[in-house]
Amino acid sequence: MALNSKQRAQLRGLANTMETILQVGKGGVNDQLVKQVDDALTARELIKLRALENAPVLPGEAARQLAEATRSDVVQVIGTRFVLYRKNPEKPKIELVK
């Protein structure tokens, strides 16, 4: 599901105060990271990640790869940090604006 600009703005606001919980390191986007991101999205819906300087991919590319692998949406990419969102179909935590 593609996010509209109002929903993206709402999620950006929520992500503002969040801690970065995962990072893409020199291993890049691997199966283990995809599993961690998938689990975190199921639990939280909205997560903030960071690409380290030694990561083989740029933050925007890492965000796209992880979003594709976890069927989530890239909310934003700023510098080395990026935010992903995926609605939990069983227990939604975030009520998106229409």
| Residue ranges of domains in the chain | 5-85
63-86 CB burial, b ≥16 within 10 A, e <16 = bbbbbeebebbbbbbeebbbbbbb
Residue 1's pLDDT band (boundaries 50, 70, 90)? low
Per-residue model confidence as pLDDT tens digits over 32-89: 999 999 999 999 999 999 999 999 999 999 999 999 999 999 999 999 999 999 999 8
* Rounded CA separation 21/26 (Å): 17
Give the count of beta carbons closer than 10 Å to the beta carbon of residue 91: 9
Please identify, in words, the CATH class of the domain defined by 5-85.
alpha beta
